[in-house]
Chains A and B, each alone.
Chain A
Amino acid sequence: MTKTLVKRVLLLLATLLLVTILAFVAFSIIPGDPTSSMLGVEATPEQIAALRDRLGLDLPIWQRYLHWLGGLLTGDLGESYNYGMPVAQLLATCVTHTLTLAVLAFVLIVVIALPLGLVAARYEGGVVDRVLTILNQITMSVPNFVAGILLVYVFGLVLRLFQPGAIVSPQTGWGPYLWYMLFPALAVALPRSAMTVKMLRGAILSELGQDYIRTAYSKGNSKSSALWRHVLRNAMIPVVTFLAMTVADIMAGSIVVEQVFGIPGLGKMLVTSIGNRDYPVVQAIVVLIATVVVVCNFAADLLYRVMDPRLRGR
């Protein structure tokens, strides 16, 4: 186990390193000079040279990368071209919004999908299962941002349960803040919940056909107790992996849904910064999001090993 753990951690670090290299190189090969957008067209050559020097733009690319990476590790994400302030400071509140949104969406997916998946599998072929299958197929086909638009329209504009576009900060208190995040999180969570229901139902049904379930019945288990005591744990193993992959999807969904609800999170900042060609901010956000995804996949891999005793010793 220790050996595997060390190997996994090394792999994680290598992946993260690759992520930073990709993010850095992608923005270093862009033609054009960030100084012109920062200083405007009337800048004197001296001004430009001074800024280039300050930003380290004349150094070779690998030195710039190492410098940037060093800053990244110490929490110095560089300076925004557009806002003229440190990126770390700029992103601090954005991170709170996006992480809250993502965590809430994840919780919603689990809370919505697990009971429904169980019910659908328990009563396979029944009315509930059939209705759920149809609803599922439809929900899966609604893109995050379309779900978001519908939610804003129905709950924001028509039912007036929240005020579209109003920004609530976490300082207001947890209650109002979570309420503010609930509908965006729902928009992110809905399509994935549907996929998770389908996945869980399939996993449970495939486990129900296994030989050890026949053994469980032969000992006098009812269908429910066979499901709870035997099937669930085995069926959860693939579902956990699936949920970890969901994190990548949640982050992607947040980028778009933040735009729908006007939440000033990482996604909105990313889109704005791409528009402004504010590359230090874009780089930092890309690395942040990719790191969250990579670390979650790592955690899922570990969890997978803990849940499946067959993989434990390895």
Chain B
Amino acid sequence: MRKRNWYGRLGLVLTVLMVGFAGVGMFWTPYEPTAMVGADKYAAPSLAHPFGCDQLGRDILSRTMEGAGSTLMIALAVLAIGFVAGLLIGAFCGYYGGVVDALVMRLSDALAAFPSILLALVVLAVIGPGKYNVIGALGILFIPSFARLVRGEFLKYRDRDFVRSARLMGVPNGRILFVHILPNTWPTLLSGLTIGFNNAVLAEASMSYLSIGVTAPDVSLGRMLNEAQGVWSTAPWCMLCPALVVVLTILGVSMLGEGLRERMAA
């Protein structure tokens, strides 16, 4: 029991720290992220620049903060699209069932045959790269998995007594779905959201790393890692900060999700 709390709490602390780091990065950074200082080209980590400077003399910490902010924003937007659409579709399918449900589930099975990053790459190949296209592509791709999760939950509660009695009392279906059933599903959906968040961070970072996601002038953690790889023999510190932020964010959120799941199981 103690171990469980320890796990989830550490996850929560780490998540808050990383989200705070990214959140602050949206509004304030120690240096101007795009300011190039000739004298600081390839500057190694120092007190002034704790994570060093890149090939153009830009402060890595400031760029990472801005990049993390942009990654966070993208991940949240992706989650919002995927979750809201997935919730509506999943709730409908799970509650009513029938032909539509069967069709939607078959389609989501077929989509699951493609690795998600492959699908995202294909969509971006069609609509072109860029921040908003990444959000759109990933958002749509995240719908099936959320729909599946929500569907399972609604299916579970569909025939419970409290739902039946609400139906007998003449409560409208929309109200049953979102006022009676939805609150019960929060714990599961919340842990699903933590997994989704991590997948979104991972997908955005991977795509931007492949230069198919976020494009200049927007900064993102994936793009920074891509650029850092070009200079890693001269300035290996360029990759340290963005890599650390990606890993710690995913670590924190997954531990938080784990903690949530364990708490549900208890």
Contact = CB atoms under 8 A, between A and B. Distances in A.
Q: Do A and B come from one complex?
A: yes
Interface class of chain A by DSSP: helix
B45 interface: no
Interface residues of B, number: 37
A26 B122 contact: yes
Contacts of A19: 110, 113-114
Interface string B221-256: 000010011001100100100010011101100110
Nearest to A23: B122
Interface in A255-305: 255-256, 259-260, 270-271, 274-275, 277, 279, 282, 286, 289-290, 293-294, 297
Q: Is the interface of B mostly helix, strand, loop or mixed?
A: helix
Given A15-B110, A260-B229, A271-B210, A252 B118 contact: yes
Contact of B115 (A15, A29, A149, A289): A289
B121 A141 contact: no
Q: How large is the interface on A (under 10, 10 to 19, 20 to 34, 35 or more residues)?
A: 35 or more
A83 interface: no
Nearest to A29: B126
B209 interface: yes
A140 interface: yes
B229 A137 contact: no
Contacts of A144: 206
B125 A282 contact: yes
Contacts of A226: none
B239 A149 contact: yes
A157 interface: yes
A49 interface: no
Contact of A274 (B117, B212, B255): B212
Contacts of A274: 121, 124-125, 212
Contact of B233 (A157, A252, A270, A279): A157
A61 interface: no
Nearest to B127: A30
Contact of A256 (B125, B206, B229, B251): B206
Contacts of A286: 114, 118, 122
Contact of A137 (B210, B211, B233, B251): B251
A153 interface: yes
A297 B114 CA distance: 11
B114 A293 contact: yes
B110 A149 contact: no
A94 B124 CA distance: 22
Contacts of A18: 110
Contacts of A297: 113
Given A15-B113, A141-B248, 8 more contacts: A15-B110, A142-B250, A143-B205, A143-B246, A256-B209, A286-B114, A289-B114, A289-B115
15 contacts: A18-B110, A27-B125, A138-B251, A142-B247, A143-B250, A146-B247, A149-B225, A149-B229, A157-B236, A248-B113, A275-B212, A282-B125, A289-B115, A293-B113, A293-B114
Top 6 closest A-B pairs, CB basis?
A: A252-B115, A141-B251, A274-B125, A141-B250, A252-B117, A248-B115
Interface of B: 109-110, 113-118, 121-126, 202, 205-206, 209-212, 225, 228-229, 232-233, 236, 239, 243, 246-248, 250-251, 254-255, 258
